[in-house]
Amino acid sequence: MGIREIWSNLGSIMASIMFVYAMYEKFFPPALRRYLRKYTHKFTNFMYPYIKITFYEKSGDNLKHNKTYTTIQTYLSANSSQRARRLKAEVIKDSQNPLVLSMDDNQEITDEFNGVKVWWSANHITSRTQSFSIYPSSDEKRFLTLTFHKRHRELITTSYIQHVLEQGKAITMKNRQLKIYTNNPSNDWFRYRSTKWSHTTFEHPASFETLALEPKKKEEILNDLVKFKKGKEYYAKVGKAWKRGYLLFGPPGTGKSTMISAIANFMNYDVYDLELTIVKDNNELKRLLIETSSKSIIVIEDIDCSLDLTGQRKKKKEKDDVENDEKKDPIKKAEKEEKNESKVTLSGLLNFIDGIWSACGSERIIIFTTNFVDKLDPALIRRGRMDKHIEMSYCSYQAFKVLARNYLDVEFHDDLFPIIEKLLEETNMTPADVAENLMPKSITEDFESCLKNLIQSLEIAKKKDEEEAKKKIEDEEVKLKAEKEKLELAQEEEKVKADEKLEENVKENGVKENGVIH
């Protein structure tokens, strides 16, 4: 059969179809046509073995952006869009990968779940609305369609869609740009477009690989963090809010802030740096807590300096005297209120950490830092509130080797490393001071010069420590000598007083017995 005959037959078939359709439209009344279309549709659905689920980009009466649509689109972009022939590029805000490729409109890709094959397609509908404008506006609706065989209905609707949403959220969290927040004063909360927290991009490069810490302690902290991150079901089982408290304590310069940054990068959590001194009362503290997100770290640095949270209470008499003075002098009371703006109490902070309000979010880490752990109230740092206490101490030899690798790309030096190891055992120097000595100050300095600078600083610090120790011993000796002299003087005075008293008794006894004074 030639091509001319094929086209001739095709033309005859099309003419026949058009004739039949014309007869159908002419001789079948509208009611009968509706009846036939209804049962034709039912028959088609019965014979068609596939089910379609549609996810619209915008939903609701106000046509707000549908988060489910975005989550599914993220999943498809990461898992299946590489198989699409046409892609579209979109700029995603606050993401480590700002340019994301996804399948273009009218494209279809396949996915597989537990051996079941499904099809995803991206579609859009454009309908022009009636308008008096010269340029009529268009109403565009975008949607994703999921197609699957009807015998897999239960698996797809109960497991697969949930899997897609969870994976999409996980990918979003992984690719998002971390932020660091700070709380605004409550006076600014109600201004136009103001928020309780201000934020900026968190770009601290700290990691556990570059953290100057003993390997054993580092591994212990990492294991604890991993256990916490995977502990959703466990915390639900034991009936506790999914949160964990860390207390970082030690001298200044031992890396407490760097530790927080390393934890944030490892866990992929945002950081909320809470400044207690500008929080007026416990109620504001709760409202700030509500505004924090899950998968975040709430930090209160130098908590011993933020507020008087030692737990000590004034005696009732002293408190009453102060209140009476304030009543007599209103100016003094106003000055005190202006000076002490924050009325956050220890009880309010304890409720913030592990009270009822602490369960308003999940997967949170609360970190306190302090240079003087003894100043804190035991109720604030007990286990259950600050679950893990981490001492950030002076630089050890193992921590020094990490710093040498970070700053100088040196793993070992036969001559200088043993000297440094011995000096670090004899001298207290913080990791910050060690790092400062290891950092090259000019382009001419090599790693040996930096190591020698460190040795020199350690020797100076050692000599200073020895002098201070010697001076302390001398001061103790002087103090003991002064106390001894004071004691001898007191004993001498007591002896003189005893002699005088004895002499008076003798005189009094002589008068009574003989009537005369001897």
Residue 123 φ then ψ, to 5° = -135, 165
d(CA 392, CA 248): 7
Instruction: Give the CATH number, domain containing residue 381.
Output: 3.40.50.300
Residues 417 and 385 both lie in one domain: no
d(CA 164, CA 148): 15
d(CA 28, CA 46): 25
Residues 184 and 287 both lie in one domain: yes
Residues 358 and 292 both lie in one domain: yes
Last-in-domain residue among 440, 456, 474: 474
Residues 154 and 65 both lie in one domain: yes
Residues 169 and 184 both lie in one domain: no
Residues 33 and 99 both lie in one domain: yes
Helices 67-79 & 161-175, crossing angle to 10 degrees? 80
CB-CB contact of 395 with 255 (8 Å): no
**Residue 516 belongs to some domain of the structure:** no
pLDDT score for 316: 43
Q: Residue 512: which pLDDT band, with cuts at 50, 70 and 90?
A: very low
pTM of the model as a whole: 0.73
pLDDT score for 358: 74
**Residue 237 belongs to some domain of the structure:** yes
pLDDT tens, 56-93? 888 766 667 788 888 998 888 877 666 777 777 776 66
**Residue 401 belongs to some domain of the structure:** no
d(CA 388, CA 224): 9
367 has pLDDT over 90: yes
Q: Is 473 exposed, middle or buried (0-12, 13-18, 19+ CB in 10 A)?
A: exposed
Residues 416 and 385 both lie in one domain: no
The number of distinct structural domains making up the chain is: 3
Provide the domain limits for residue 77.
23-175
Residues 186 and 161 both lie in one domain: no
Mean pLDDT of 236-260: 92
224 has pLDDT over 60: yes
* DSSP-assigned beta bridge partners for residue 95: 176
| Percent of the chain predicted with pLDDT > 70 | 79
Task: Determine which of 124-133, 342-351, 381-390 has the lowest per-residue pLDDT on average.
Answer: 124-133
Burial annotation 439-456 (CB, 10 A radius, 16+ → b, else e) = eeeeeeeebeebbebbee
